[in-house]
Each structure stands twice: as C-alpha cells, then as structure tokens.
Amino acid sequence: MTRHETAFADLEAAFPGRIERGEAVRAQHGAGDSWHPAALPDAVFMARTTEEVAQAVKLCAAHGCPIVPFGAGSCIEGQVNATQGGLCIDLSQMAKLLRVSPEDMDCTVQTGLTRQALNEELRATGLFLPIDIGAHATLGGMASTRASGTMTVRHGTMADLVMGLTVVLPDGQIVRTGGRARKSSSGYDLTHLFIGAEGTLGIITELTLRLTGIPEASKAGLYSFPSIEAATQTVVEALQFGLCLNRIELMDALQVKAINAYNKTELPEQPTLLVDLAGSEQQVDTDRDTFDELASENGAELHPVATPEDYSKVWALRHSALYAARGLRPGCKSLSTDVCVPVSELPRILAETSADLDAEGIIAPMHGHVGDGNFHLVMLFDEEDAAEKARVQAAHGRLVERAIALGGTATGEHGVGLGKKSYLEAEHGAGLELMKVLKRAVDPANLMNPGKIFDL
Amino acid sequence: MTRHETAFADLEAAFPGRIERGEAVRAQHGAGDSWHPAALPDAVFMARTTEEVAQAVKLCAAHGCPIVPFGAGSCIEGQVNATQGGLCIDLSQMAKLLRVSPEDMDCTVQTGLTRQALNEELRATGLFLPIDIGAHATLGGMASTRASGTMTVRHGTMADLVMGLTVVLPDGQIVRTGGRARKSSSGYDLTHLFIGAEGTLGIITELTLRLTGIPEASKAGLYSFPSIEAATQTVVEALQFGLCLNRIELMDALQVKAINAYNKTELPEQPTLLVDLAGSEQQVDTDRDTFDELASENGAELHPVATPEDYSKVWALRHSALYAARGLRPGCKSLSTDVCVPVSELPRILAETSADLDAEGIIAPMHGHVGDGNFHLVMLFDEEDAAEKARVQAAHGRLVERAIALGGTATGEHGVGLGKKSYLEAEHGAGLELMKVLKRAVDPANLMNPGKIFDL
Ligand SMILES: Cc1cc2nc3c(=O)[nH]c(=O)nc-3n(C[C@H](O)[C@H](O)[C@H](O)COP(=O)(O)OP(=O)(O)OC[C@H]3O[C@@H](n4cnc5c(N)ncnc54)[C@H](O)[C@@H]3O)c2cc1C
Ligand SMILES: Cc1cc2nc3c(=O)[nH]c(=O)nc-3n(C[C@H](O)[C@H](O)[C@H](O)COP(=O)(O)OP(=O)(O)OC[C@H]3O[C@@H](n4cnc5c(N)ncnc54)[C@H](O)[C@@H]3O)c2cc1C
C-alpha cells in the first residue's frame, strides 16, 4: 500500500488490468542505466495513445500522485528513478511512424519509436534522422534529455532536429508546439521548453522531426596519435578547414585497451581518432586526403578502413565503448559522466583530468564526441568500498567544476537527472532560479518527475 | 506629464541628463518600419552597459512603468510601438565585439552591434555570422524576433546561431543563459526562451554567437521561369539533391518589375529565382551545373552572373525588394507580411494567394526565402482609402489562415508584434495559453513590452 492508492484505484477503473503493480515490472522501470540506487515506481502504465496519457495524467493530478515518464530507460543520470514513488508512464508502445514527407524531408512519429526503428522505416525514402547515439533509446526520451551523438558535429542535437511536439501538460491538457514550417517567429519557443526538460514539464507523445538525405558516399579513417594533444589539435584544424566531417570521435589509450579486450581486437593502444567523412564521392575523397595530411603532420599513424565491412566494424567498436569500459573491472559499478567544453579547451581539460585520475589511482577510460568538445569518462569503482566510491565522486566533482570554469557545461548530452543536480547552481547562477520559476508555473503541484534537474 | 513621472524622476536622478523626453527622439522610437500607427514612448534612455539596463529596469519596475526594448527599430509588425507609453530603452550604443575565438568559431557581442558591423570586425579572422537579413538591424533585435534571411536555407536562423545570452529580467536581475560549449543538456533551455520573445520577457544585453568560415568559393545564378510552379518545383528538387545552396530566393513578376523600376535594370519580368552556391571551387561548379540542368528542365532561361561585380549587384537588387515594392505606388502605405509553409505547399499557397489578390485588385509584389518555404508580400494601400485598407487587411488575414491550414506559421521571420496577434490562437491553440503562463511567471507585472505577441 502506498499513499497513492486512491489514484491507482481510479487509474485501474479507467484502464482495467493495465496498471501494473508487480515487483518485476516496477524494477524494470526504477533505475535506467545509472549508478544511482534504484527507486521503483509504485505502479507502471503502458500508454497507447496521447489521449490515454492525458487521461492518466489527469487522474494522477487529481490525487497529487507523482508521474515519471519512461521511454527506453537508457538514461545514465538517474532520470527515471522514481525517488518519490508514484506512477511510471511507459511510452514504449507508442511507436508508430505517423507520416513522412519526402518532399519536405520531415516526419511525425509517436514518442516511443526508437531512432533505429525510424531509420529502418525510412530506408526506402533515402532519408534518415541524423542522430547517432550509443543506445536503443526512444525519440521522446532523446528529446527529453536533449540527446546527441557521433553525428552532432555535422547535424546538431535533438534540439536542432525537433520541429514540433505534442505534449501532455501536468494538468492533462494536450498542447501542440511548433509545426511543419522550417522556421517560425510566431511567439515563444515552446518546443525548446520541453526539449531537455527530462519529463519535468510534461509528457511528449509525438514529435515532428527534420530528416536528412543519406549521403552519396561516406568513408571512415582510424588514426593512432602519440598524445591526446596531437589528436585534439587535429580535431581543431579539421573543423577550421570545414572538412565534410560526419563524425569525429576520440578514445584514450585505456579506452582502446578496453575495446580490444571486450571485442578481441588489436588496435594500437594509443589515443585514437575515429573519423567519418560524408558527402559526394569526390568531396569525401578530397577531404579524407586533407584529413590524412593533418593527422600525419600531428604524428598520427593511419589505419585504412577500406571496405564497407571495415566501416561497420569500426563504428560497432566505437559503440561498444561504454560496455567495454565497464568490462575492465567486472563486477564493479561505473559512474559514467559526460561534460562539454569549447573545443579549444579540450587539451587542457583532458590533461588536467588525466593527471587528477592518475594521482587518485582511478580507472576511468575516456571517449568522446570531440568535434563538439564533448567527452565521457567511465569511472569504475567497487560499490562495497566506500572510500573508493567517495574518491571517485570527488574526482567527478572536480571534473565538472573544471568544465564549468572553462566556459563549458556539466553535461553535454546525458542530462542532469539526479547525478548533476548539485552543479547547476555553479553553472547557471541566477538562471537556476529562473528554471524553477518556469517549473512552478507549468507544474505548480510538482508532479512531473519531481526531484529531477533541481529540487524546489 | 504622464502617469510615470515618478519613475522618470528617479531615472533622471540615476542618469542625469540622459532620460530624453523630446518629441523628436520619442518619435524616432515609436514606430519601427511598420504600417501600424506610431505610439511614442514617454521617454527614451540610451543604455551603455548591462548594469545600466538593470538599474533602469529596477527603477521602472518599482513604479510600474512599462519598458520597451529598442534595437535599430527596423521591425515590421509594430513591435517597438509604445502602445502603453513608458520608457524605451535604446540599446544601439551597446555595440562592442567583446571577444572572438577563431579556434572555437564563436564570439560574444553586446546586443546593439549590427550584423554588418560584426562581420566587418570579423573579416580578418576568415569567419562571419551567416545571417543575411535585408535591414541594418541589431543582433539583440534579431535574436528577439528570431530573425533569419537569405542564408537560412543553409545556416539556420538566429535560434540556431545564438549559443548563450545575458539578459536583464523584468525585476532587474541579470541572468546568463547557455554558454560556450557547442551543446549542453544541463537543464531547461533558457536561451531559446528569450529568442523570439520580442522583448516581452527581458532585455538581452549580450549574445554569444556561432560563426562560420567564409566559403572558399561562391557563385550566383539568376533564372527566369515561365511560372511560379516551375520555379518552386526547381527549389524542391534542388533541396532534395542536397546541392550546396547558400541562398535560394524567389521573386514574382511584379516584384521583378518593381526592382527594374527602382534600380533602372532590365531583368525579364517573370518569376525569378536568385541562387547562391557556396563551398569549394569544385563543389560550387559541379552543383551549379546540376542546378542549371534542373532549372532548364523546368523551363528556365539562365542569366549568367559571372563576375564578382555581377554577384554583388544581383544581391543588392534582391535586398532592394521591399523599398522597390513600395516604390510601385509612391505615397502609399505598405502592409509587409511574411508567412512560412512546408516547401511542398508553396505552389499551392502562392497560386491561391495570387488568385485572391487578383480578384481583389490588390497590388502586392512577392519575394521570399523559398528554400525555407518563407515568402513576403508587400501589400500596397492608400491610407486615406478606408475601403481599400479594409480589403487589404482582409486579404492578409486569408493569407495567414491559408498558411496555418497548410501546416505553416503566421510569420516565418518578422515576428508577431501587433500585426499577427489575432492569428496566434488559430496557430497555437492551447499553446497560446501556455505562452501566457510563461509570461505571467517571468513578468508578473506585465512591464516588458506589454501588449506585444498577445494580450493578457
Ligand atoms: C550504452 C549507452 C550509450 C549511450 N549513448 C548516448 C549518446 O551517444 N548520446 C546521448 O545523448 N545519450 C546517450 N546515452 C544516454 C541515453 O541513451 C539518452 O539519455 C537517451 O536520450 C534516453 O532515452 P530513453 O528513451 O532511454 O529515455 P529514458 O531513459 O526512458 O528517459 C530519459 C528521461 O526522459 C524522460 N522521458 C522519457 N520519455 C519521455 C517523454 N515521452 N516525454 C517526456 N519525458 C520523457 C524520462 O522521464 C527521463 O527523465 C547512452 C546510454 C547508454 C546506456
Ligand atoms: C528593409 C527591411 C528588410 C528586412 N528584412 C528582414 C529579413 O530578411 N529577415 C528578417 O528576419 N527580418 C527582416 N526585417 C525585419 C527586421 O529587420 C527584423 O525584425 C530585425 O530582427 C529587427 O531588429 P532591430 O534591431 O531593428 O530590432 P527592433 O526593431 O528595434 O526591435 C524588434 C523587437 O525586438 C525587441 N528588442 C530589440 N532589442 C532587444 C533586446 N536587446 N532585448 C530584448 N528585446 C529587444 C523590441 O522590443 C522589439 O519587440 C526587415 C526589415 C526591413 C525594414
């Protein structure tokens, strides 16, 4: 019995047999992919339509019952942990492609569709959604964390690709934001209000998305560098040359070692850049030559990625980075974190962080979308060893403070959830209070994913 | 004497000799470039620093005195008209480039800098801000109307290029939003809250902007088409081919006629596309050949734009469009409007609108950033002729309703101000109420540019 039984009784009456209370289902919904202690919702509802979401939200609102929206649960900062209990609304069954316009290169989807499934459905049109993240996430979840990934250097983040949304507000009202025009100056930007709000302002049920043509050609390259500095210097130069970069990813020597062990490969265990160029055949060839030169001048060794099979293999290796990192200390927990700084500050923050981690004896492979100035550390620790855990958390805090001090941000793509809450004051100053003003206005009863991003 | 004398007395004490009350200065600040009746502020203050803005806002807030932020006053929808009197805060003297980082391709500016002045100052870096609008506007004003222009098809709008802001809130607090990282998932998107808010939520005093490298090569082309449909069909095809389009602008026959008369040129008076391709020499050449083919297949006649002088001349002609249009009926007023639809709907809305205007006998040349689905009509009328004015306003209303019905928006780039207020309900439905919720939360006393975008 929880204090929300009256809400659940009404929900059960409205959706007979569909309000799940079993331990197993609740456990699947209470933790995401994070190191934060699981916190199970009291009940789970798998919604099928916008109207069902609106009805469930209204019933919860009437009883003051907290609501946690749930996509695929791949979040890393504890965003779906139901720290105040309540109802988890799982949106993964709302997974239809509703319409696509090849002429306008846009589409509208239900929130629970994954980007992999979307791109599969779009294949025949020659279009795709150019967001490449390392998880099987839902598009609504990706919008809600302002997700981005390997192709962001070229195509931007979810904030750049969502043209409009259907959202259920905390009082159950349905609002449509944005639209299908490529641009608009018609009033406040409601779409961006919900992107990155981590479900604290409402529940996204549909998204209109900008698509891109599948490029004529794309070619990858793998480059081993003598140092992190040499690799990041190459990144800065390639960006300034305006090469047709589609992805530019950095891994440190330890991350490459982890990947070798996890995938039984034999990449040189050095700082490594993985590069993808996309465009016309001609442009890709010219630009790869230029990139090869830049990399060579910075001391890199080049490893050909010649065939389509090589190409797929290389990117599969990159996407194994998180699990490979965790594999370095089996049975350990991992504090996965991401920060983002101006690209020119990458050498400095990486050097300072690496010195810090070495001094503390912390094992933490690094990989990142360095074209955006974004990188991840997977900091491994033994959950039973309180001292080690505290050391890891303290080093993590110093990393985030360093990023903020260099004009960067506490999180480039994973979001705030529970894990980054304590840094928001340092990053945003008076802006944090303004965020709270918005939250109080849109969700006065604090029912939508309460306790995430900030406390009221 | 106005009811805000106590506020002005305090302001005068704080800024001796700088609170201007003269008719001439007030008249310069009360109308923008719009057909709406002028409405003069009671006083004008030329601010020099963020702190001065904050102090002036605090004094106004203490006395309940309305505030109208003012950039260059080039707005078209009556946004700066001080319909409730009060203090106009003119930001045009805050015009410094504060920093530029060529490595990160970003800069920070004061709000009153114009984009022309910024690009002049940036010239030596090889970088520029890729927003090309037809007016000498300030960057703060451009952010506040979510401005865009001829290069938006390639580089996006102000919403895509502003990375962070310094804003003075309605209570005088200073908030810094966003930052210098290329992306962030750190809390709500405060930056986009102020972009397009038309000064109703606060006063922008600084902006951090994404820059772009000046392309190696750019080449223009001018194409006369047998029909609007043939021209827009060419646009759709060129977008789908992913050509390196930098600008793609449409003018109808009447607009070309107006330009000929205004500039003493002899362009064929037919539907015309003006195209700019930018990239590497090679890419530009290849893509222009492709474009030439697409245009020819759609029946176009090609006019070479060979030399750099031709290139500048062609774009200067395009930028004369608004004044040239007004020149068609000297002494008349012009209701300049802009709407935006999905690109595929352009042929339909242009055909329906043109039939409507013909039936009404309204003279209204059309030009537009058609790569975005955005176009402008300059609807000419005699201010003394009430019947004609009413006919023009009614036809304008039908145009906007048509755009909304086709999935588009009441305004692609000029903003709402006074002129588009009555269409926001049709476009946003329940979203309009959500905008009001935000406004009430951020500006509970409704002091910031009251009565713009919507009434409370
Ligand atoms: C192996 C791995 C690799 C990853 N790689 C990346 C990466 O490259 N880039 C990146 O950005 N992230 C990455 N992530 C993190 C994660 O995948 C993203 O945060 C993703 O956006 C979460 O989507 P989801 O559908 O799993 O959402 P969930 O985890 O279910 O939810 C995330 C947040 O959004 C809210 N939410 C979910 N759906 C909705 C909705 N419809 N309306 C309102 N709120 C909603 C939830 O309440 C929660 O606050 C990775 C994670 C893993 C495990
Ligand atoms: C010939 C001509 C061509 C044009 N072409 C284009 C075009 O191609 N694309 C386009 O988008 N627009 C165009 N416009 C419209 C106009 O130039 C834009 O709306 C421009 O963004 C206005 O900038 P401004 O500095 O003149 O702002 P103003 O006109 O002074 O103000 C515009 C609005 O922003 C507010 N504001 C101004 N500064 C601030 C600030 N610092 N903080 C908060 N609020 C502020 C004002 O209160 C007002 O609501 C054109 C106008 C003309 C006359």
Nearest residue to B298 via CA among B374, B371, B238: B238
β-strand B87-90 against B43-46: which pairing, if any?
parallel
Q: What is the mean pLDDT of chain A?
A: 96
Residues of B in contact with A106 (CB under 8 A): 342
Q: Residues of B with CB below 8 A from A407's CB?
A: 179-181
- Residue A373 pLDDT > 60: yes
- The C-alpha torsion from B164 through B168 and B174 to B178, rounded to 10°, is -10
Residue B438 domain-assigned (yes or no): no
> How does pLDDT run across B17-63, given as a tens digit for each residue?
999 999 999 999 999 999 999 999 999 999 999 999 999 999 999 99
What CATH number has the domain bearing residue A83? 3.30.43.10
Share of residues in chain A with pLDDT > 70 (%): 100
Asked whether the predicted pLDDT for residue A395 surpasses 80, the reply is yes
What is the identity of the amino acid at B397?
A: G
Whether pLDDT at B1 is above 70: no
What is the Cα–Cα distance from A178 to B157, expressed in whole angstroms?
15
Closest residue of B to A172, CA-based? Answer: B430
CATH number, position B379: 3.40.462.10
Give the ligand whose atoms come closest to the C-alpha of residue B158: 2
Residues 6+ away with beta carbon under 8 Å from A375:
A250, A338, A339, A340, A346, A350, A366, A367, A368, A369
Q: What is the pLDDT of residues B190-210, one digit of tens each?
A: 999 999 999 999 999 999 999
Separation of CA A308 and ligand 2 centre (Å): 49
Report yes or no on B378 lying in a domain: yes
Q: Which uninterrupted H or E stretch holds B212? A: strand B212-213
Condensed to tens digits (0 to 9), the pLDDT of residues B416-438 reads 999 999 999 999 999 999 999 99
For A226-259, what is each residue's pLDDT tens digit? 999 999 999 999 988 889 999 999 999 999 999 9
Q: Residue A317 CA to chain centroid, in angstroms?
A: 18
Three-class DSSP category at B236:
helix
Q: Considering CB atoms only, which of B146, B175, B428 is closest to A431?
A: B175
DSSP string, B319-388: HTHHHHHHHTSTT-EEEEEEEE--GGGHHHHHHHHHHHHHHHT----EEE-GGGTEEEEEEEE-TT-HHH
B340 and A183: CB-CB below 8 Å?
yes
DSSP reduced 3-state for B143 = helix
Domain assignment present for residue A73? The answer is yes
- Read off the amino acid at residue A94: M
Question: Based on the domain organization, do B332 and B401 belong to the same domain?
Answer: yes
Q: pTM (2 decimals)?
A: 0.97
CA distances (Å), B412 to each of A120, B372, B406, in order? 32, 9, 14
Pair (B276, B304) in one structural domain: yes
CB contact under 8 A, A373 and B182: yes
Find the mean pLDDT for residues B272-277.
Answer: 96
B376 located within any domain: yes
Ligand nearest to the CA of A152: 1
Dist. CA B57 → ligand 2 center (Å): 21
The rounded distance, in Å, linking the Cα atoms of B193 and B438 is 9
Token digits of residue B406: 């086709």
ipTM exceeding 0.90? yes
- Could you tell me if residue B428 is inside a domain? no
Please provide the DSSP assignment of B420-452 as one string. Answer: TGGGHHHHHTHHHHHHHHHHHHH-TT--BSTTS
Tell which B residues from 92 to 131 touch A, by Cβ distance under 8 Å.
101-106
Helix (H) or strand (E) holding A167: strand A162-168
* Ligand 1 center from residue A137 Cα (angstroms): 6
Number of A to B CB contacts under 8 A, please give it.
283
**A88 in the same domain as A131:** no
* Together in a domain, B232 and B370: yes
Nearest CA among A326, A342, A108 for reference residue A204: A108
Per-residue confidence band for A386, with pLDDT thresholds at 50, 70 and 90: very high
DSSP code string of A329-388 = STT-EEEEEEEE--GGGHHHHHHHHHHHHHHHT----EEE-GGGTEEEEEEEE-TT-HHH
Instruction: Read off the pLDDT of residues A32-87 as tens digits, 9 standing for 90 and up.
Output: 999 999 999 999 999 999 999 999 999 999 999 999 999 999 999 999 999 999 99
Residue of A nearest to B436 (CA): A188
CB of A17 less than 8 A from some CB of B: no
CATH number of the CATH domain containing B207? 3.30.465.10
B283 in contact with A, Cβ within 8 Å: yes
Q: Is the CB of A203 under 6 A from ligand 1?
A: yes
Among A2-6, B149-153, B165-169, which is the least confidently predicted range?
A2-6
Tokens for A330, please give them.
Answer: 């089996």
The per-residue pLDDT for range B123-152, each reduced to its tens digit, is 999 999 999 998 999 999 999 999 999 999
Residues 6+ apart with CB under 8 A from A316: none
**How many angstroms is it from A141 CA to the middle of ligand 1?**
5
B162 in contact with ligand 2, CB cutoff 6 A: no
Residues A255 and A196 in one domain: no
Number of other residues whose CB lies within 10 A of the CB of residue A258: 28
HSE-CB of B9 using CA atoms within 13 angstroms: 7
Q: How far apart are CA B203 and CA B448, in angstroms?
A: 8
- Which pLDDT belongs to residue A1? 56
Mutate to test the interface with A, among B152, B188, B205 (most CBs of A within 10 A): B188
Does one domain contain both B318 and B350?
yes
The CB of A137 under 6 Å from ligand 1? The reply is yes
Could you say which of A152, A182, A213 is where a domain stops?
A213
In-domain check, residue B441: no
Mark which of B70, B92, B114 sits at the end of a domain: B92
- Tell me the per-residue pLDDT of A426-442, one tens digit each, with 9 for 90 and over: 999 999 999 999 999 99
Q: Is A455 on the interface with B (CB under 8 A)?
A: no
C-alpha closest to that of A67 among A55, A56, A78, A51: A56
Residues A127 and A192 both lie in one domain: yes
**DSSP tag of A111:** T
Token pair, residue A428, equals 């945003």
Quick check: B332 and B326 in contact, CB under 8 A?
A: yes
> Do B413 and B277 reside in the same domain of the chain?
yes
Instruction: Looking at the structure, tell me whether residues A69 and A200 fall in a common domain.
Output: no
* CA–CA distances in Å: residue B327 to residues B78, B269, B316: 21, 16, 16
Separation in Å, CA of B384 to nearest CA in chain A: 30
The whole-angstrom separation of Cα B88 and Cα B24 is 14
B residues 405-444 lying closer than 8 A (beta carbon) to A: 407-416, 420, 423-424, 427-432, 434-435, 437-442
Q: Which of A70, A92, A114 is the last residue of a domain?
A: A92
Number of domains forming the structure of chain A: 3
* Same domain? B205 vs B354: no
Residue A437 has a pLDDT of 98
- Measure A20 CA to nearest chain B CA, in Å: 31
B377 and B268 share one domain: yes
Share of chain B above pLDDT 70, in %: 100
Residue A67's identity, in one-letter code, is: I
Q: Which of A169, A176, A186 has the CB atom closest to B411's CB atom?
A: A186
Cβ <8 Å between B434 and A175: yes
Of B186, B242, B442, nearest to A416 by CB-CB distance is B186
Residue A443 lies in a domain: no
Distance from CA of B157 to the nearest CA of A (A): 8
CA A129 to chain centre: 15
Q: Which atom of ligand 2 is nearest to the CA of B369?
A: 8
Domain containing A264: what range? 217-417
**Above 80 in pLDDT, residue A2?**
no
- Ligand in closest contact with the CA of A29: 1
Residue B307 lies in a domain: yes
What is the model's pLDDT at position A421? 98
CB-based contact, B22 to chain A, within 8 Å: no
Do A353 and A367 fall within a single domain? yes
